[in-house]
């Protein structure tokens, strides 16, 4: 499997494919948040996640079978796969679903995407990724952008702390799972690995759904919810799951994580467009700060590496 340039190989620029994949992840994951809000208005949390994760697993395993001709996972990868699935898939999806059901979708996406902070911290301790100057600057700018957007949410967190807590737990779980995925030397293609991870999470999620929630009547769902589910299954759950973990194999984990800082901007504006959630000066200020963070984390290192300079 291809790996990102190491700290000792600074002459190699960051691969262009990673930037294109990050752009797709930013757009489609950003628009995922109003879609989730629409679906969760008519579906219980655990059944919604069972359907989402199951659809993602089926789609990715079909793609893996058609692309690579096999779905075989080496025995040595099974335990790491299950551990990654617990944090990067199950923890993230379940906590985020509960959180977004209790808060405005755009604001929930902002709290969720504090994930790069946790990925950077876990990456330093678990896989020895350094805090370079552009990375530190980008992280600070990104956090400032998130802080601007979260200003009003302090009131929301005070009134409904459970929703905010769920989103924070989702961010921490995803960040930890991202670093665990990066740490493992996988033998199978990304589509196969992520497909099996989704399937591994699908089983316990569905069991909990069966034990705790009534089976939803799918015939009663509105056309709007069906359209939202079709979008969620095809793009966030299949393309974005594959693309994000592919990016993790291309870039260092902290850079891959911080590259998602623009997702809440798309989440806020798509929620405003689709759900009518308000957009004010905070969103505009955060857009400037987060774009600056992305420039520091992704563009500046690429330019400096191209000139053979230390970053």
pLDDT at 89: 94
Q: Mean of the pLDDT values across residues 298-304?
A: 64
281-308 CB burial, b ≥16 within 10 A, e <16: ebbeebbebbbbbbebbbebbbebbeee
Does residue 10 fall inside a structural domain?
A: no
Q: Mean of the pLDDT values across residues 235-256?
A: 84
Residue of 243, 125, 238, 236 whose CA lies nearest to 180:
125
Contact in structure between 262 and 210 (CB atoms under 8 Å)? no
Does residue 5 fall inside a structural domain?
A: no
**Residue 232 confidence (pLDDT) above 80:** yes
Does residue 9 fall inside a structural domain?
A: no
Does residue 8 fall inside a structural domain?
A: no
Overall domain count for the chain:
1
Residue of 74, 86, 258, 108 whose CA lies nearest to 174:
86
Give the percent of the chain with pLDDT over 90: 40
Burial of 75 (0-12, 13-18, 19+ CB in 10 A): exposed
Q: Mean of the pLDDT values across residues 117-139?
A: 80
pLDDT at 302: 59
Tell me the C-alpha to C-alpha distance, in Å, between residue 192 and each of 67, 89, 132, 297. Answer: 10, 15, 32, 29
pLDDT at 47: 97
Please report how many Cα atoms fall inside a 13 Å half-sphere around the Cα of residue 80, on the Cβ side: 18
pLDDT at 152: 61
pLDDT at 233: 94
**Residue 218 confidence (pLDDT) above 50:** yes
pLDDT at 301: 66
Does residue 6 fall inside a structural domain?
A: no
**Residue 309 confidence (pLDDT) above 60:** no
Tell me the C-alpha to C-alpha distance, in Å, between residue 179 and each of 56, 74, 117, 245, 252. Answer: 21, 20, 12, 10, 9
Confidence of residue 150 (pLDDT cuts 50, 70, 90): low
Does residue 253 fall inside a structural domain?
A: yes
Q: How far is 179 from 236, CA to CA, in rounded Å?
A: 20
Residue of 89, 118, 144 whose CA lies nearest to 288:
144
pLDDT at 160: 53
Does residue 150 fall inside a structural domain?
A: yes
pLDDT at 14: 66
Where is pLDDT greater, at 254 or 269?
A: 269
Q: How far is 241 from 99, CA to CA, in rounded Å?
A: 20
pLDDT at 59: 94
Q: Please identify which residue in the block is written with the tokens 């994760």.
A: 53
Residue of 173, 161, 41, 172 whose CA lies nearest to 101:
41
CA 262 to chain centre: 11
pLDDT at 221: 95
Residue of 266, 258, 23 whose CA lies nearest to 123:
258
**Residue 22 confidence (pLDDT) above 80:** yes
**Residue 5 confidence (pLDDT) above 50:** no
Confidence of residue 42 (pLDDT cuts 50, 70, 90): very high
Q: Look up the domain containing 240 and give its range.
A: 16-306
pLDDT at 211: 96
pLDDT in tens, 58-84: 999 999 999 877 898 989 999 999 999
């Amino acid at each position: 499997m291809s790996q990102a340039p190491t700290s000792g190989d600074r002459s190699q620029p960051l691969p262009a494919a990673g930037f294109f994949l990050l752009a797709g992840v930013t757009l489609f994951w950003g628009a995922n948040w109003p879609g989730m809000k629409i679906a969760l208005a008519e579906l219980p949390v655990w059944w919604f996640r069972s359907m989402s994760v199951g659809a993602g697993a089926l789609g990715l395993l079909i793609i893996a079978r058609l692309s690579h001709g096999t779905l075989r996972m080496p025995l040595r990868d099974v335990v790491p796969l299950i551990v990654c699935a617990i944090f990067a898939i199950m923890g993230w999806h379940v906590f985020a679903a509960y959180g977004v059901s209790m808060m405005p979708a755009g604001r929930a996406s902002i709290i969720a995407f504090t994930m790069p902070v946790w990925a950077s911290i876990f990456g330093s301790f678990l896989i020895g990724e350094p805090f370079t100057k552009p990375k530190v600057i980008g992280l600070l700018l990104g956090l400032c952008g998130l802080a601007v957007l979260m200003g009003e949410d302090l009131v929301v967190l005070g009134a409904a702390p459970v929703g905010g807590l769920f989103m924070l737990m989702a961010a921490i779980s995803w960040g930890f799972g991202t670093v665990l995925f990066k740490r493992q030397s996988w033998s199978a293609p990304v589509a196969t690995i992520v497909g099996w991870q989704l399937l591994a999470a699908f089983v316990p999620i569905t069991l909990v759904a069966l034990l705790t929630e009534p089976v939803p009547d799918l015939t009663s769902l509105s056309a709007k919810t069906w359209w939202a589910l079709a979008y969620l299954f095809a793009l966030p759950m299949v393309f974005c799951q594959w693309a994000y973990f592919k990016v993790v194999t291309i870039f260092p984990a902290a850079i891959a994580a911080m590259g998602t800082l623009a997702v809440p901007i798309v989440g806020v504006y798509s929620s405003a467009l689709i759900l009518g959630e308000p957009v004010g000066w905070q969103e505009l200020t955060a857009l400037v700060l987060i774009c600056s963070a992305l420039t520091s984390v992704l563009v500046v290192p690429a330019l400096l590496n191209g000139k053979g300079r230390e970053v």
